[in-house]
Amino acid sequence: MQTLVALLRRVAPSWAVGAYHYAQAWSAALWFGFPSRRLCVIGVTGTDGKSTTVEMIAHILNAAGMKTAISSSIHIGVGEAVRKNTMKMSMPGPFALQRLLREAVSAQCSHAVLEVSSEGVIQHRHVCIEFHAAVLTNIYPEHIERHGSFEAYRKAKMRFVRRARAVHVLNAEDKNLEFFVHLPAERTYLFSTDAAHSAGGHETIIVEHIEETPEGISFSVRGVPFRLPLLGRVNAYNAASALCVALSQGVPLETASAALKTIARVPGRMEAVANNPFTVLVDYAVTPNALQNLYETAKRIWKPNRMVCVFGACGGGRDAWKRPVLGEIAGRHCDAIILTNEDPFDEHPARIVSEIRGGIDREREVWEVLDRREAIQKAYSLAGRGDLVVLSGKGSEDSITLARGEKIPWNEVEIAQELFRSHSSMDRAQPSEG
């Protein structure tokens, strides 16, 4: 089926494909009775941080007594009836989205928080959804092959933000702020970690006194202390955007602080899954910016003796430009690198790995182990006491996608823990020297 869809995309005129998606979006909204008209719908877009931000916003609103539906690459559901998103899509198709919104109305939800992807925008999945608020976490080059250029990718984000006429939430530190800050909205909120970035008379959330530990982060906003069981400075930015939304909905900062203190760790996002004699960290990072943040954060928090990194890159012709870039970033930060499978689709895994390796400094220790389980085992064999093993690219995904849509069941956290236990048992079984 995926092969057929890909073929149709190549041979059908772009206007015909666009018309098909537009008609599908209208049909879905009509079938379910335009449910977004009876909800306050908040959309979250950006290159990185979308899923975590969606989780934070929904958690705050629910804690404030506003029953909320959620759709992200991690979870989907209504109120407390939330399930894992197994669709391998950060933004479902229009019928799935409209069905969710219809269920939200039936369950008497007041709000819905949706992750909005650029792919979803160019396929018109967002049309016929009346967005009250739009959040832009950040924007960096990504999905260039799909959009044709970074400018086209940025325009897709702008098309979505423009649809939300009531509230815009923007990253004041983003280099592309100027393209979004003048889009019309009743209220525009900015967020930053630096007061110098507040501009244009817009209400600005400034995050101050950020502290990172292996247990989480703490910071303050307007004198209100926050403590979250989430790792990394990047989550201070995600929280800041969520706080802007909370304020726009009349939720006091004190209520938001109490809520975020109890938020569950986001699966597969900067998740420490094992420690002693070395620590194992699982993260979804698939973009250059996310990988850079992951490595820098890991070094700041754990201060490891050595960092052993396992990762790959997506196949199927998706963003091949970034493969050597990911390699270059790993080469600067990692002491040992194991290149492996991520989601090769119909592309040969060895080719993907070779292109990543092209960006790595030749002096680095690099192994190519295409079987991801064996790659993790190799990383464990290289790690010593006080080291950090970083597994990136899969996060909470539940499969590895091969050619012709074949999927291998996969749970990075469970497999990492299973192999860690086996490795630890073998170490204990080794006779001591005497």
**pLDDT digit string, tens, across residues 136-169:** 999 987 766 676 788 888 998 999 999 999 999 9
Average pLDDT over residues 231-244: 95
**Residue that terminates a domain, selected from 233, 260, 287:** 260
Structure confidence at residue 1 (pLDDT)? 45
- Domain boundary residue among 200, 229, 260? 260
Q: Are residues 216 and 348 in the same domain?
A: no
pLDDT given for residue 261 in this prediction = 96
5, pLDDT greater than 70: no
Quick one: pLDDT band at residue 434, thresholds 50, 70, 90?
Answer: very low
pLDDT of amino acid 427: 64
Residues 253 and 292 both lie in one domain = no
Q: What is the dihedral of CA 101, 104, 110, 111, to 10 degrees?
A: -50
What pTM was estimated for this model as a whole?
Answer: 0.86
CA torsion 59-399-144-282 (nearest 10°) is 60
pLDDT in tens, 190-201: 999 988 776 667
How large a percentage of the chain has pLDDT more than 90? 67
Do 223 and 329 sit in the same domain of this protein? no
Give the pLDDT mean for 40-55: 94
Mean pLDDT of 414-426: 90
Count of domains observed in the chain: 2
For the chain, the straight-line distance linking the first and the last C-alpha, in angstroms and rounded, comes to: 62
- Are 87 and 108 in the same domain? yes
Judge if 144 and 284 occupy the same domain. no
- Average of per-residue pLDDT across 35-62: 95
**Main-chain dihedrals φ then ψ at residue 205, nearest 5 degrees:** -95, 120
The pLDDT tens digits for 259-275 are 999 998 888 899 999 98
Q: Are residues 247 and 197 in the same domain?
A: yes
Give me the sheet containing 224-228, strands edge to edge: 208-213, 216-221, 224-228
Give the pLDDT mean for 346-351: 91
Same domain, 240 and 344: no
Range of the domain at 311: 271-427
pLDDT top residue among 133 and 26: 133
Q: Is residue 74 pLDDT above 80, yes or no?
A: yes
Residue 433 pLDDT greater than 50, yes or no:
no
Average pLDDT rounded to a whole number, residues 31-60: 94
pLDDT value at residue 432: 46
- Name the nearest CA neighbour of 192 among 240, 239, 160, 226: 240
Tell me the mean pLDDT in the region 403-408: 88
Residues 37 and 164 occupy one common structural domain: yes
pLDDT band at 67 (very low <50, low <70, confident <90, very high): very high
Q: CA-based angle 47:1:94, to the nearest 5?
A: 50
Decide if 1 is inside a domain. Answer: no
